[in-house]
A and B are shown apart, each in its own frame.
Chain A
Amino acid sequence: MPEKFDVIVVGAGPAGTSCAYLCAKNGLKVLQIERGEYPGAKNVMGGVLYKQQLEEIIPEFWKEAPIERPIVEQRMWLLDEESAITLGYKGQAWANEENYNNFTILRAKFDQWFAKKAQEQGVTLINETVVDACLVEEGKVIGVRTDRPDGDVYTDVVVLADGVNSLLAKQLGFHEEIEPAQVALTVMEVLNLPAETINERFNLEDGQGCTIEMFGDATKGHLGTAFLYTNKESLNIGVGTTLSSLVNSKMKPYDLLEYVKNHPIVKPLIKGAEEAEYLAHLIPEGGYHAIPKLVGDGVIVAGDAAQLVNGIHREGSNMAMKSGSFAAEAILLAKQTGKYTEEVLDIYREKVYESFIGKDLEKYKDATETLENHPQYLKEYIPMLNRAARTFFTVDGISKQEKQRGIFNMFMERGKIRTVQDMYRAWKVMK
C-alpha cells in the first residue's frame, strides 16, 4: 500500500507553502509537490510582497527572509509619449520595522527560503514532479497522480495551489477554459545596478526602496501597467497587458518591454544597468467574476489557481498567502470532524469571500472589463491630462483663466455628455 498523507499541496508558491507550513506546524503529515527544479524556479511576479499576511504566519520574517528593500515610496506615473504626470507617496513611517508595509523580493530566492521554513515544520517537499490529475473516487478527491512511474499518492485532502490557469481545477470542472481577457502576460527583466547608483537615481537612503507603477503610454494605451521596482543591487522592470489586448493589437510583449525601457522618462533611471534575467508569466486578472469553485469533496483551490489577484492594487502574493492560511484553517477543522466533505471545507470559501480578499475583488469586479471595453481612459484621457498639465505649467503670457478654459474645452471636445458619462463610469467601477 502506498504511503498516505493527511494533506497534499500542489505547488510551492506563496499559497501552497503558506498552507503546507501551517498544516505541518499543527501536526499534519503534509506532502508538497512542485514542478520546478526548486520552489521559485518557475514563479514570477513584479516583486512586491506585502508584510502583513506573511507576518501572521512567520512573525518578523523580514529579519531572516531574503527581502531586497523595504518600500518607503510608491510612485504612480501617467505616461504620455514623452512626458508623465507623477503622483506618489513617500513616508519615513514605512521605514520603521514595526510599520513596514511591503518589500521588494526576488521570487527565486524568496520562494526557496519560504519552502525551507515549511520543510523545517515537517513538510515533505518533492520537486521536479508534475501532478497530472487528481484521483477521484465517487466524486471525492482521494489523491493525486504524478507524472512519475508509480506516481499515485493518496491523501485526505488536496490543495490546488498550482498557479494561474490551474489545469487541475479545470479537470475537476471548477472553471472553464480561461479567457484571454482574464489573464495578463507580464514580461520583466532584472537589471543589475550598484546599490549606490540606485540610491542616487531614486533618491533613496541605503536599504530603502521605491516602486513605480506606469499607466498609459507604458502599454501604448492598452489595458495593463508597467512597473519599475528597486531591489538591493538590481531593478525589476516589466510590463503586463491582458492577453486579449496583445492579440488584438498584434503587439509582442518583449517589444513592449523594449519600448518601456527606451521611454524618455524611464531610460535615465536604468541607464548602464546590466540585463541579468528575463522572465515571463501569466497573471490572473479576471478578478471577482473569474473566481472558480473553491471547494469540493476533498479538495480546495487557493492563490492564483483561484484567481485571487487584485490587479488594480498589484496585490497577489499576499492574497495567495492569506488564502493558503484559510485553507489550512479549514483543513485543521475538517481533521477534527474527520470529514473532508465539501460542506465541512466550505468554511474556506466563506473565509475567502468575507475577508479583504473577497471584498476588494468585489469592489473592482467590473474594473478590468470596463477599462478593456472603454480604452479611452488609458488611450485618450492620460495624454489629455499630460497636455493639460503642460499647458497649465508653461508660462507664456497667457492668463491662467484662459488656460483653464482651454483645458476644459479640450476635455469637452469629446462631447459633454460622453465626458460626463466617462467620469461617472470611472467613479462607479472604482468606488
Chain B
Amino acid sequence: MHIVVCVKQVPDTKVIKINPKTNTLDRRGVPSIMNPYDAHAVQEAVRLKREYGGKVSVLSMGPPQAEAVIKKSIEIGADEGYLISDRAFAGADTLATSYALTKALEKISSASPIDMIFCGKHAIDGDTGQVGPGIASRLDIPPVTNITSITKVTKDYVELQRKLQDGYAHIRTTLPCLITIEKEINEIEYAPFPNMLKAVSCQPVVWNVDQLGEVDRKQLGLKGSPTVVGKMFAPPKQEGGHRLEGSPQEQVDQLLHVLQEKRHLFHKKGGAAV
C-alpha cells in the first residue's frame, strides 16, 4: 500500500503577532513548524504501514527551507519525501496549491501508484481546509474529511470514523481516496533514534515547475489564484470569565445556580458530549 501525505510548513501561530497598524501577520523571527494536523496524518500513515505494510511518501510545496517538514516526517517514520519548489508557485491560494500538488501527485503515482492521500484537516495559518478536498476533486477520487479513526483497510476499501458537528459517522469508501486527519486520531510517538539519523541524511526529491510534466502555468501561483483578501483584522481578545465572590457557601450556591442554568450543555447524545 502506498500512502502519500501532503504536509505544509507554517509559521508557529502560538508566537505570531499581528501588526496593529496594518492588521497583517508580523512574521519576523517567528519559527516555522510542521502544520500539527499534518504530523498526525504522517503518524497515522506510519501506523497503517506498520499494520498493513507498504510505503509512506510525503509531499510538500514551499521554499527550499520547507525541506525541514519533510525531514520531520522522516523522523516520524515516512520513507521518502518530495518537495515542489519554484518561484512560479509563489503566492498560490488554495485553488492554485491544489493544482500544483495534484500535478506532483500524478507524477509520484505514475512511478508508484497511490492508494490513499492524507492531508491534515487544515493548516493552522490559513484554516481553510480546502486544499485536501481540492486535490480529491481534481483527481476525481472521494474526499473524506475530519477523520478521527481508520478502522479497517483492504485493497479495495477503507473504513473510517468521521467527526460531525454533533457526533460521528462511520463510513466506508473505495480506494484510492483522500482523507483529511483530525488531531485526536493518534498521539505523535516519540521517534526512534534510527529515524532521527535517517532524517539527517535524507535528501528529498525536489522538483521545479518544469519537472512536473505538462502544467498549465496560468493555474499556478498568484496568477492561478482568484482569492482576494479584502481585509484582515485580529479577533477581539477573549474577555475574562465570570468570577464568583463571597463566602464559600455563597460561592457554592452561585455555582450550583450556574450549573442548573447551563444543564443542557452537559446532556449526552449518542455517547458523545455535545
Binding site for B on A (CB under 8 A): 2-3, 124-126, 129, 146-153
Q: Are A125 and B193 in contact (CB under 8 A)?
A: no
Q: What sequence of 0s and 1s flags, for each residue 196-223 of chain B, a beta carbon within 8 Å of any chain A beta carbon?
A: 1100110000000000000000000000
Q: Are B192 and A149 in contact (CB under 8 A)?
A: yes
Q: Which residues of the partner chain A approach B191 to less than 8 Å between Cβ atoms?
A: 148-149
Q: Which residues of the partner chain A approach B201 to less than 8 Å between Cβ atoms?
A: 124
Q: Are B200 and A124 in contact (CB under 8 A)?
A: yes
Q: Nearest Cβ distance between residue B69 and chain A, in whole angstroms? A: 15
Q: Nearest Cβ distance between residue B19 and chain A, in whole angstroms? A: 16
Q: Which residues of the partner chain B approach A148 to less than 8 Å between Cβ atoms?
A: 190-193, 196
Give the complex CA separation of A146 and B197 in angstroms. Answer: 13
Knowing that A125-B200, A150-B192 are A-B contacts, what are 8 other residue pairs whose CB atoms are under 8 Å apart, sorted by A's residue number? A2-B194, A126-B193, A147-B190, A148-B192, A148-B193, A149-B190, A149-B192, A149-B193
**Which residue of chain A is the closest to B75 with respect to CB atoms?**
A128
Q: Which residues of the partner chain B approach A125 to less than 8 Å between Cβ atoms?
A: 200
Give the complex CA separation of A150 and B75 in angstroms. Answer: 13
Residue from the set A126, A147, A148, A152 with the largest chain B CB neighbour count within 10 Å: A148
Give the complex CA separation of A150 and B190 in angstroms. Answer: 11
Binding site for A on B (CB under 8 A): 190-194, 196-197, 200-201
**Contact of B196 (CB < 8 Å), options: A2, A126, A152:** A126
**Which residue of chain B is the closest to A146 with respect to CB atoms?**
B193
Q: Nearest 6 pairs between A and B by C-beta?
A: A149-B192, A148-B193, A151-B193, A150-B192, A126-B196, A124-B200
Q: Nearest Cβ distance between residue A396 and chain B, in whole angstroms? A: 54
Give the complex CA separation of A15 and B191 in angstroms. Answer: 27
Q: Which residues of the partner chain A approach B194 to less than 8 Å between Cβ atoms?
A: 2-3, 150
Give the complex CA separation of A126 and B197 in angstroms. Answer: 7
Q: Are A129 and B192 in contact (CB under 8 A)?
A: no
Q: Which residues of the partner chain A approach B193 to less than 8 Å between Cβ atoms?
A: 126, 129, 146, 148-153
Q: Nearest Cβ distance between residue B11 and chain A, in whole angstroms? A: 16
**Which residue of chain A is the closest to B189 with respect to CB atoms?**
A149
Give the complex CA separation of A3 and B197 in angstroms. Answer: 9
Q: Nearest Cβ distance between residue B234 and chain A, in whole angstroms? A: 19
Residue from the set B191, B193, B200 with the largest chain A CB neighbour count within 10 Å: B193
**Which residue of chain B is the closest to A127 with respect to CB atoms?**
B196
Q: Nearest Cβ distance between residue A420 and chain B, in whole angstroms? A: 56
Give the complex CA separation of A156 and B196 in angstroms. Answer: 21
Give the complex CA separation of A153 and B193 in angstroms. Answer: 9
Residue from the set A124, A149, A153 with the largest chain B CB neighbour count within 10 Å: A149
Q: Which residues of the partner chain A approach B190 to less than 8 Å between Cβ atoms?
A: 147-149
Q: Are A126 and B192 in contact (CB under 8 A)?
A: no
Q: Which residues of the partner chain B approach A150 to less than 8 Å between Cβ atoms?
A: 192-194
Q: Which residues of the partner chain B approach A129 to less than 8 Å between Cβ atoms?
A: 193, 196
Q: Which residues of the partner chain A approach B192 to less than 8 Å between Cβ atoms?
A: 148-151
Q: Which residues of the partner chain A approach B200 to less than 8 Å between Cβ atoms?
A: 124-126
Q: Which residues of the partner chain B approach A124 to less than 8 Å between Cβ atoms?
A: 197, 200-201
Q: Nearest Cβ distance between residue A22 and chain B, in whole angstroms? A: 20
Q: Nearest Cβ distance between residue A112 and chain B, in whole angstroms? A: 11
Q: Nearest Cβ distance between residue A256 and chain B, in whole angstroms? A: 28
A–B complex contacts, Cβ < 8 Å, 28 sampled: A2-B194, A3-B194, A3-B197, A124-B200, A125-B200, A126-B193, A126-B196, A126-B197, A126-B200, A129-B193, A129-B196, A146-B193, A147-B190, A148-B190, A148-B191, A148-B192, A148-B193, A148-B196, A149-B190, A149-B192, A149-B193, A150-B192, A150-B193, A150-B194, A151-B192, A151-B193, A152-B193, A153-B193
Q: Nearest Cβ distance between residue B211 and chain A, in whole angstroms? A: 27
Q: Which residues of the partner chain B approach A153 to less than 8 Å between Cβ atoms?
A: 193
Q: Which residues of the partner chain B approach A146 to less than 8 Å between Cβ atoms?
A: 193
**Which residue of chain B is the closest to A125 with respect to CB atoms?**
B200
Q: Nearest Cβ distance between residue A126 and chain B, in whole angstroms? A: 5
Q: Nearest Cβ distance between residue B43 and chain A, in whole angstroms? A: 14
Q: Nearest Cβ distance between residue A92 and chain B, in whole angstroms? A: 33
Give the complex CA separation of A129 and B201 in angstroms. Answer: 17
Q: Nearest Cβ distance between residue A29 and chain B, in whole angstroms? A: 12
Q: Nearest Cβ distance between residue B271 and chain A, in whole angstroms? A: 34
Q: Nearest Cβ distance between residue B34 and chain A, in whole angstroms? A: 13
Give the complex CA separation of A149 and B193 in angstroms. Answer: 6
Q: Nearest Cβ distance between residue A40 and chain B, in whole angstroms? A: 13
Q: Nearest Cβ distance between residue A150 and chain B, in whole angstroms? A: 5
Give the complex CA separation of A147 and B194 in angstroms. Answer: 12
Give the complex CA separation of A333 and B193 in angstroms. Answer: 30
Give the complex CA separation of A153 and B192 in angstroms. Answer: 12
